Amino acid sequence: MAIPELPGGPYDVEYFFDPGCPFAWQTSVWMRGVAELRGVRIGWRFISLRFLNEANRDQPAQMAEAQKVGLRFHRICAAARERMGNDAVGALYRAWGESYWYEEARGAVSDRVANAARRSDAAAVIESVGLPADLLSAAEDAAWDVVIRAETDEAIGRTGSGVGTPIITYLPSGNSLFGPVISEVPDDERTVQLYDALRTLADFAGFSELKRTERPPLDLPLFKAA
C-alpha cells in the first residue's frame, strides 16, 4: 500500500513516531521547539514498534504489552488524521506523551514502561484536546493497521534497516535520518543549532551515520533513578 498524502501539506519535516518510545517523545519535544522558533511545519506519521518487533520472541513480555497499547493509540491517531487532519495527530501525541512520561516510577525500565502503558487513558487524552469521544472506538479497529504498517514500512525504507524511532524526513531533499536520540531537550539556542546541523547532514545524500552509545540517562521523570 502506498502511504497517504498528509493533509494540510507540504511540510518541512515528516516525523515518524511510536507513542510508546521515550526517545521519540523526547525528540518530539525538541522538534516542537524548532517549530516554534523557526516556523518549521511538522507532518506527523506513524512507525510502530509493535510491527517492527513482531518477529522478536526474546523481548520482555512487559514491553510487548506496552507496544500493543501504543498500537491501539496509533489507530486512534490514524482515525483522527483521516477525519480532522494532521494537527489532530500532533495534539493527540502531545497530550498522550505529557500524561505518559512525567510520572516518577520505580523498578526496571521495562516495568516502568509497562506500568505507564497500563495507566494510560486514551479517552482522557481525546477529551483533553477537544476531539470527538467516538475516536476511542478506533483503538480496537484493526482496519487502521493497514496504514500504520504501510507507514512503518515506508519509514524503514527511507533509512534502511537496523534503526528505531524516531525517523525524520527532511524536505524538500526527502532524505531521512533515525534520531536525533537526545537525553534532554536543549535550550532555545541549541535547539536551533541542532536543527541546522541536522539539516546540513540530512540534505547531503552521501551522509549516513554518526553515533555514540555512551549518553546520560533520559531526563524524564519515568526514568529518574531510584
**Mean per-residue pLDDT, 165-178:** 95
Q: What is the pLDDT of residue 211?
A: 87
User: What's the mean pLDDT in 84-106?
Assistant: 92
pLDDT tens figures, 18-48: 999 999 999 999 999 999 999 999 999 999 9
Please give the pLDDT value at position 80.
98
Residue type for 110, please? S
pTM above 0.75, yes or no: yes
What is the rounded distance in angstroms from the CA atom of residue 61 to the CA atom of residue 50?
A: 12
CA angle 200, 28, 64 (to 5 degrees): 120
Which one, of 37, 72, 15, 83, lies nearest residue 194 by Cα? Answer: 37
Coil, strand, or helix at residue 42? strand
Residue 147 predicted with pLDDT over 70: yes
- 179 — pLDDT class (breaks 50, 70, 90): very high
Average pLDDT value for residue range 59-87: 92
Residues 135-163 have a mean pLDDT of 96
